[in-house]
C-alpha cells in the first residue's frame, strides 16, 4: 500500500456468497464503511444457491476462479508463473508438501496450486497487497500459495469446528506460520490455534469476533405481542447437519410432548440431514410439533427469531454461532450447549440456558424452564442478551479491529504495492 492511498484488501472464500455466511458479507460491508476497499474472490459460487437480494448484489461483485473460463485461467496461470518463476516453484513445493500429508491428496493440491496461480495474477493486476481468507481449509491453502507467488501479505480467519477436527490434515500450523496474522472468533478458538504452534507465534493470533449491524440492536427490548403466540414457539436457525444437533432437539421435544406441554419448534435452514430429522420426528411422534422452514432471507430469519419465545441451538460442534448473536441482539434468550465459544456468549441463568451437547434430558429441562418463565423474566433475560451482544459483537467495532490488523500487516511489508 502506497502512503496516502486507500487501503485495498482481497478476500477469498471457498463459496461466496453462501446462505449461511452472512457474517462474511457483514464484515466486508463494515470494512467498506470504514474506507477499506475489498476485492471479493471465491473459488466457486455457493452450491446452496442464492435466496436473498443482499447475496445477489455480492455475487455480482465477486470474481470466481471456477467459472472464469479455461482460456482466462490458462492466461492468468502463465502470466503468474512467468513473472515470478522462483516463487511459483516454491509455492508448488509447498503445495506438494501439504498435499502429501492431507486427506485430499496430491492431485487436489495441484489443483489448489493452479487456482493460486490464477489468483496471484489477479492480485497483481489489481494491485492488491494483501489477501485474507475465511476458514482455514482449502480457501486458506489457495490464498497462502497465491500470496507467496504474488509476494503479498496473507491472513485468515479460522472459525471452527472443521479446522479443529483435522488441523494436521489441512496444514493449519503451516498456514499460521505463513500468515501475517490469524483471526480467531473466540477465546476458545484462539486457544485451539495456540496448541498448534510454538509460543513465539502466539502473538500472531488475534481475536476478532463476528458481529451484527447496529439496526439489530435498535429493535425494542422485547415486543411481547410478537413473541407471545397462542402456542409458544422455539426457533432454531442453522444448517441441518450433524454438527448442529437437531436430532437431540427432536428427542427433547418428544420428552416435553409426553408431559403434555404445548409448544412448536421452527427449524430455519436446510441441509444434508433434513430427511433424517424428519424421519426422527415421525418416529418420536413429534412431527406435528416441528416445522421445517427451509432457507430464509436475512429479513425473514430476523422475523422468525422475533416470533420466538426463546431461541434454541443444540450444537454438537461449533465456532461461535452468529445466529445466537442475532437472537440476543433481538432480545431473545437462547438455549445452547457447552460447546466451543458458546459459553463466552451465553451465560446460564443470565441471558439463557446451557446444556451438555447430546443430552436430551438436559435440553428438555432448559426448554421446560423457558416455557414456565414469566414474560417479565423473559424480558429481563432477553435484555441481558442484547447488552452482551452489543458489548462484544458490534460488527463495526470488530471491523475496526480487523482494519487495524490489515494496516499493520501492509505497513510491515514496507507500504509497497505488488
Which tens digit of pLDDT belongs to each residue from 358-386? 999 999 999 999 999 999 999 999 999 99
Task: Using the CB atoms, write b or e for 85-117: b if 16+ within 10 Å.
Answer: eebbeebbebbeebbeebebeeebbebbbbbbb
In this prediction, residue 46 carries a pLDDT of: 85
Residues 33 and 139 in one domain: yes
In this prediction, residue 51 carries a pLDDT of: 72
Q: Is the pLDDT of residue 225 over 60?
A: no
Residues 6+ apart with CB under 8 A from 382: 221, 222, 328, 331, 332, 333, 351
- Number of compact structural domains in the chain: 2
Strand pairing partners for 153? 130
Q: Is the pLDDT of residue 348 over 50?
A: yes
Q: Is the pLDDT of residue 3 over 80?
A: no
Q: Is the pLDDT of residue 337 over 80?
A: yes
The string of pLDDT tens digits covering residues 271-313 is 999 999 999 999 999 999 999 999 999 999 999 999 999 999 9
| pLDDT above 70: percentage of residues in the chain | 95
Burial of 262 (0-12, 13-18, 19+ CB in 10 A): exposed
Residues 50 and 174 in one domain: yes
The x, y and z cell numbers of residue 361, run together, are 434430558
CATH number of the domain bearing residue 149: 3.40.50.2000
Domain contains 191: yes
pTM summary value? 0.93
Q: Is the pLDDT of residue 227 over 50?
A: no
Domain contains 418: no
Burial of 314 (0-12, 13-18, 19+ CB in 10 A): buried
Residues 155 and 235 in one domain: no
In this prediction, residue 412 carries a pLDDT of: 81
In this prediction, residue 224 carries a pLDDT of: 42
Domain housing 146: 8-211+395-412
Residues 178 and 160 in one domain: yes
Residues 300 and 374 in one domain: yes
Residues 135 and 248 in one domain: no
DSSP codes of every residue in 267-305: EEB--TTHHHHHHHHHHTT-TTTEEEEE---HHHHHHHH
Averaged pLDDT score across all residues of the chain: 93
Instruction: Give the DSSP letter of residue 349.
Output: T
Amino acid at each position: 500500500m502506497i502512503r496516502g492511498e486507500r487501503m485495498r484488501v482481497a478476500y477469498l472464500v471457498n463459496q461466496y456468497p453462501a446462505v449461511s455466511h452472512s457474517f462474511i458479507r457483514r464484515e466486508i460491508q463494515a470494512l467498506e464503511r470504514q474506507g477499506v476497499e475489498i476485492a471479493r474472490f471465491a473459488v466457486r459460487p455457493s452450491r446452496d444457491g442464492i435466496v436473498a437480494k443482499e447475496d445477489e448484489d455480492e455475487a455480482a461483485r465477486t470474481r470466481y476462479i471456477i467459472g472464469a473460463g479455461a482460456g482466462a485461467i490458462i492466461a492468468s496461470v502463465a502470466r503468474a508463473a512467468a513473472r515470478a518463476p522462483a516463487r511459483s516453484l516454491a509455492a508448488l513445493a509447498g503445495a506438494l508438501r501439504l498435499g502429501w500429508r492431507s486427506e485430499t491428496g496430491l492431485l487436489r493440491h495441484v489443483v489448489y496450486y493452479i487456482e493460486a496461480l490464477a489468483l496471484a495474477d489477479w492480485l497483481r493486476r489489481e494491485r492488491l497487497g494483501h489477501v485474507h481468507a475465511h476458514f482455514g481449509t482449502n480457501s486458506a491453502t489457495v490464498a497462502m500459495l497465491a500470496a507467496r507467488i504474488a509476494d503479498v501479505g496473507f491472513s485468515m480467519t479460522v472459525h471452527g469446528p472443521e479446522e479443529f477436527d483435522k488441523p494436521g490434515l489441512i496444514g493449519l500450523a503451516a498456514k499460521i506460520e505463513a500468515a501475517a496474522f490469524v483471526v480467531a472468533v473466540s477465546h476458545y478458538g484462539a486457544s485451539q490455534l495456540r496448541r498448534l504452534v510454538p509460543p513465539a507465534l502466539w502473538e500472531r493470533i488475534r481475536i476478532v469476533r463476528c458481529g451484527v449491524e447496529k439496526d439489530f440492536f435498535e429493535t425494542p427490548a422485547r415486543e411481547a405481542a410478537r413473541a407471545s403466540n397462542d402456542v409458544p414457539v422455539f426457533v432454531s436457525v442453522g444448517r441441518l447437519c450433524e454438527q448442529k444437533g437437531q436430532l437431540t432437539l427432536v428427542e427433547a421435544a418428544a420428552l416435553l410432548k409426553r408431559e403434555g406441554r404445548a409448544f412448536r419448534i421452527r427449524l430455519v435452514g436446510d441441509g444434508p440431514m433434513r430427511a433424517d430429522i424428519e424421519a426422527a420426528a415421525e418416529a418420536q411422534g413429534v412431527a406435528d410439533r416441528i416445522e421445517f422452514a427451509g432457507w430464509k432471507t436475512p429479513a425473514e430469519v430476523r422475523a422468525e427469531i422475533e416470533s420466538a419465545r426463546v431461541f434454541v441451538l443444540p450444537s454438537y460442534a461449533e465456532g461461535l454461532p452468529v445466529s445466537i448473536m442475532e437472537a440476543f441482539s433481538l432480545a431473545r434468550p437462547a438455549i445452547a450447549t457447552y460447546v466451543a465459544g458458546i459459553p463466552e456468549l451465553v451465560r446460564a441463568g443470565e441471558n439463557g440456558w446451557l446444556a451438555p451437547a447430546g443430552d436430551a434430558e438436559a435440553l428438555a429441562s432448559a426448554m421446560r424452564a423457558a416455557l414456565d418463565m414469566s414474560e417479565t423474566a423473559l424480558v429481563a433475560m432477553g435484555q441481558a442478551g442484547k447488552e452482551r451482544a452489543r458489548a462484544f459483537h458490534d460488527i463495526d467495532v470488530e471491523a475496526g479491529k480487523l482494519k487495524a490488523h490489515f494496516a499493520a500487516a501492509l505497513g510491515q511489508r514496507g507500504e509497497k504495492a505488488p
